[in-house]
Structure 1
Amino acid sequence: MFLTRFRVNTARPGARRLLSSPQAMHAAVMSSFPHILPSDTPQPGAPRVLWRLDQQARAEVLLYIVSPERPDLTHLVEQAGWPAAAGPDNPGWQTRSYAPLLDRLTAGDRWAFRLTANPVHTIRRKEGEPRKITAHLTPIHQMGWLLDEKRQQRLGFRVCEKPAGRRLLPEGTTHQKRPHPGDRYELAIRDTRSLAFDKTRSPGGRRDKPVTVVTVTFEGRLEITDPDALRRTLTQGVGRARAYGCGLLTLAPLTPKTP
């Protein structure tokens, strides 16, 4: 497995086109692997190509890719990078082996994490209608999706709780009747986006229905409960819409907080 980081040159027209279309970005990412066809579907339980866009500042956007093969992002550098600055020692992206991090995961260890996901649930609007997959739209329900006990067990971690002294109320809530999980847990929502785009025309010229995906970027701290399950999470992704930039969980060492 490999972890890759690519800085997007947001001033270039090609970059703006990719950033405006998750489908175009997905196609560009998948084109980075000569041995993986765009139509290939990973076997159940097998590692897959995951990607995520992180906007650090208005003009600083980073593309992260986790993949079973080492990618070649030459085409992305030409479309959306700095091709004139690329050279033998600096191709325009950084790739490193993911194995050292995966191998050091141990139960009880704590890490900072970031995850962009598509939190959804199923609802039935009218009696007798089939249940429909619907996005969670409020921060309380979006956090509740990630904090679900069964989901965290499958993913191999639990989100850490805040010390009692850092909670707004001793119970860890901001409202008596409607608990706010963000006050109890080391968890924050950094970004929420609603992406709407048209899919590629189907054979014969028929246009598919527009796709709408609500993405939520979570940041926080987690404690590993099942290292093997967490390795699967890191290499297979979390939740739905993984072709559209969702599902990639990344870890970072915790840094001591300054007083």
Structure 2
Amino acid sequence: MFLTRFRVNTARPGARRLLSSPQAMHAGVMSSFPTLLPTDTPPSGGPRVLWRLDHTTRADVMLYIVSPDRPDLTHLVEQAGWPAAAAADPAQPGWQSRPYGPLLDRLATGERWAFRLTANPVHHARRKDDEPTKRTAHLTPVHQMGWLLKRQETCGFRVLEKADDKRLLPGGTTHTKQPHHGDRYELTVRDKRALAFDKSKSSGRQAPVSLVTVTFDGRLEITDPQALRRALTQGIGKAKAYGCGLLTLAPLGKTG
């Protein structure tokens, strides 16, 4: 496994095209693997290619990729990087890839990390009793946090709770029966995006796609290292092809 970081040159037209279309960015990421065909599907329960865009500022965007194989991002450097700088220093091709295995192998129960995850929090709901359920996006931060908290056990971690003296409300609640996740946990939700784009189909027609994504920043404690490894290499939730599901860890005090 490899963890790769690529800084996007947002001043370039090619970068703006990639950033405006999750479909185009997905194609660019998947083209980074010479042995991977566009029609290949990841093995069930196995590692897969995951990616995420971190928008630190409007002009500062980082692309992160976790993948079973080391990627070649030469084409992304040419489209959306600094190709002249990369050509001038062959030792700096325009991206950084590091083996991910050493970090995965040393994860241990009880360790605490900062984390970041961009995800597509959804649930199944129906408007009427006689209608089939439909996948629907969670739209409020409280429900989006609840979506992640429901998955923490199966993903091998628990989100840390705030100390009592850091909570604005007694017990972290707004009502005796309704927990307010934002005040109880070391967890924030930001960068909500409503995306709409066309997905090309094999028939040549365009299929409309719409989804809501958010970025979670927080702190966690590892409860099951093996389950967490699966989450780190297989992703969390839906829309993985469109920049969702990639969970990354950092020493406490940092993010990314």
TM-score using structure 2 length: 0.96
Is 1:98 matched up with 2:100?
A: yes
- CA-to-aligned-CA distance 1:36-94 (integer Å, 9 cap, x gap): 11111111111000000001112110000000000000000000000000031100000
Match for residue 246 of structure 1 among 229, 244, 247:
244
Structure 1 residue 153: deviation in Å? 1.4
Contact 1:168 1:174 in 2 (8 A): no
Match for residue 225 of structure 1 among 223, 235, 256:
223
Residue number in structure 1 paired with 2:75 = 75
Q: Which deviates further from its counterpart, 14-23 or 174-183? A: 174-183
For 1:167-178, list aligned pairs within 5 A. Answer: 167-176=167-176, 178=178
Contact 1:77 1:83 in 2 (8 A): yes
Match for residue 211 of structure 1 among 206, 209, 212:
209
**C-alpha distance in 1 between matches for 2:115 and 2:174:** 24
Q: Which runs of 5+ in 1 are unaligned?
A: none
Which amino acid in structure 2 is aligned with residue 111 of structure 1?
W
Q: Secondary structure at the match of 1:78?
A: helix
Contact 1:112 1:251 in 2 (8 A): yes
**C-alpha distance in 1 between matches for 2:137 and 2:66:** 25
Which amino acid in structure 1 is aligned with residue 124 of structure 2?
T
Identity of aligned residues (%): 76
**C-alpha distance in 2 between matches for 1:187 and 1:206:** 41
Structure 1 residue 255: deviation in Å? 3.1
Residue number in structure 1 paired with 2:52 = 52
Contact 1:157 1:226 in 2 (8 A): yes
Residue number in structure 1 paired with 2:193 = 193
**C-alpha distance in 2 between matches for 1:166 and 1:88:** 49
Structure 1 residue 178: deviation in Å? 3.9
**C-alpha distance in 2 between matches for 1:31 and 1:46:** 20
Report the count of equivalent residues: 252
**C-alpha distance in 2 between matches for 1:147 and 1:246:** 17
Q: Which runs of 5+ in 2 are unaligned?
A: none
Which amino acid in structure 1 is aligned with residue 137 of structure 2?
A
Q: More strand by proportion, 1 or 2?
A: 2
Residue number in structure 2 paired with 1:145 = 147
Structure 1 residue 202: deviation in Å? 4.1
